[in-house]
C-alpha cells in the first residue's frame, strides 16, 4: 500500500473552515454545512454525509456524522458525550482522527437535535466493504498487516491510563483510509475505567454490541456485565478471522433470526472451526482470542508482539487453513 497521507489536525481544519474561529477547534458549531444531501451511510443510530472543505491550497473531504433520535434524549446525550470525550483524547495511526463536533440542530433539511461529529472522510469505506472488494486480491502479508493495525490500536487503548475498552469492535467500526491503513472509529460504546474516585467520570455499564462479535461473558443475564479488555480481544480475533481468512464469524448463520447466533455463543460454539490438522501458528493465534474463560485469552499486546515474529508471517497456503 502507498503511505497514508498526512491528515489535517483539528486546528488546521478549523482554520480551513473558518479563519476567524481557530482558537476553539473542537467546537465547530456554525462552521460546517452539507454540500451533498445524500447520506453516504445510514445506520440505526446515525447518518454520515460527505463534505468537501476547501482552504488555501488544500482540499479535503470530511465526514459529518449526524446522530439520530433513537432513544431517550438523556441516553443519547450521554453516549455522544462519552464518544466525544474518549475520541478527542486518543491519538494513534490506526484510530480515526477526531476533528470536532457541532451543536447545530439543523443541517439543510435534516434535523440534528444532538449535533454532529466531524472526522476525516475515508473513501475506501469500512473494512467489510473494503475486504469484499479487495480481500481476494490482497496478499496474506497485506491481510495480516491490516489485522495488526487494528491490534496495535487496541493495544494503545488498553494501555491508556485510564484504560479504554472499545466495546464494539467489528468491520463496520474499522475504516480503511486512502492509504490502505485501518482506522478504528465509533467510541459510542466505549468503557472508561477510572481507578481514582471523584474523577468526574465513572465506568459505563450499558452495552449493546453486535452479535457475531460478542464474547460469551457478555451474554450472561447480569445487569453489571460490561465489555472488558478480554471481550475486546475476543472481537479482535473475529476481525482476524475476517481479515486473514476472509470468513465471517458464525458464517454458517446468515443472520441472528430467532437468536440462533446468540444461542451458539451461549452453547460454546466458536466463531469458526479449524478444518486442517495440524493448524498453523497463525490460526492458533487467532483462535486463542476466543477462549471461553476471559482470563485465559492473550492480551492485545501479546497478540501484537506475536504478529512480529516470522513464523506468523506465513505463505499463501494459510488461506486454506479453514
Q: Which of 168, 186, 232, 264 is catalytic?
A: 168
What residues form DSSP beta bridges with 141? none
Q: Count Cβ atoms below 10 Å from residue 313 Cβ, excluding itself.
A: 14
Unique residue bearing C-alpha cell 474561529: 21
Distances (CA, A) of 196 to 58, 79, 94, 202: 44, 22, 29, 9
Unique residue bearing C-alpha cell 455522544: 80
Cα separation of 268 and 264, whole Å?
6
Kindly calculate the radius of gyration of the chain based on its CA atoms and give it in whole angstroms.
20
The answer to whether 31 touches 118, Cβ cutoff 8 Å, is no
Cα separation of 4 and 243, whole Å?
19
Whether 195 is catalytic = no
**Strand positions, DSSP E, 15-87:** 41-42, 46-55, 58-67
Q: Is residue 194 helix, strand or coil?
A: coil
The answer to whether 112 touches 67, Cβ cutoff 8 Å, is yes
Q: Known catalytic residues?
A: 168
Amino acid at each position: 500500500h502507498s503511505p497514508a497521507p498526512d491528515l489535517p489536525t483539528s486546528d488546521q481544519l478549523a482554520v480551513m473552515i473558518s479563519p476567524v474561529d481557530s482558537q476553539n477547534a473542537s467546537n465547530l458549531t456554525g462552521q460546517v454545512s452539507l454540500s451533498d444531501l445524500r447520506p453516504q451511510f445510514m445506520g440505526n443510530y446515525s447518518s454520515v454525509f460527505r463534505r468537501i472543505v476547501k482552504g488555501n491550497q488544500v482540499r479535503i473531504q470530511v465526514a459529518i456524522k449526524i446522530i439520530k433520535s433513537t432513544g431517550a434524549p438523556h441516553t443519547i446525550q450521554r453516549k455522544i458525550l462519552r464518544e466525544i470525550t474518549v475520541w478527542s483524547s486518543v491519538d494513534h495511526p490506526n484510530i480515526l482522527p477526531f476533528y470536532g463536533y457541532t451543536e447545530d440542530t439543523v443541517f439543510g433539511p435534516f434535523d440534528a437535535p444532538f449535533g454532529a461529529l466531524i472526522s476525516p472522510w475515508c473513501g475506501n469505506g469500512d473494512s467489510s466493504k473494503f475486504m469484499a472488494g479487495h480481500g481476494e486480491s490482497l496478499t496474506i502479508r497485506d491481510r495480516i498487516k491490516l489485522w495488526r493495525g487494528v491490534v496495535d490500536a487496541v493495544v494503545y487503548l488498553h494501555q491508556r491510563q485510564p484504560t479504554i475498552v472499545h466495546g464494539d469492535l467489528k468491520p463496520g467500526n474499522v475504516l480503511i483510509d486512502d492509504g490502505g491503513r485501518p482506522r478504528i472509529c465509533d467510541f459510542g460504546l466505549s468503557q472508561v475505567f477510572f481507578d481514582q474516585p471523584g474523577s468526574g467520570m465513572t465506568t459505563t455499564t450499558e452495552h449493546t454490541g453486535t452479535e457475531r462479535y460478542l464474547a460469551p461473558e457478555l451474554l450472561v443475564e447480569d445487569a453489571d456485565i460490561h465489555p472488558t479488555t478480554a471481550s475486546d480481544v475476543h472481537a479482535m480475533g473475529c476481525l482476524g478471522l475476517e481479515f486473514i481468512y476472509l470468513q465471517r464469524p458464525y458464517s454458517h448463520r446468515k443472520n441472528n433470526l430467532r437468536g440462533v447466533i446468540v444461542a451458539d455463543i451461549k452453547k460454546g460454539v466458536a466463531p469458526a472451526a479449524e478444518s486442517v490438522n495440524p493448524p498453523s501458528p497463525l490460526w492458533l493465534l487467532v483462535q486463542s482470542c476466543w477462549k471461553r474463560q476471559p482470563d485465559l485469552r492473550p492480551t492485545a499486546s501479546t497478540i501484537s508482539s506475536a504478529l512480529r515474529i516470522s513464523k506468523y508471517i506465513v505463505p499463501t497456503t494459510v488461506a486454506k487453513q479453514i
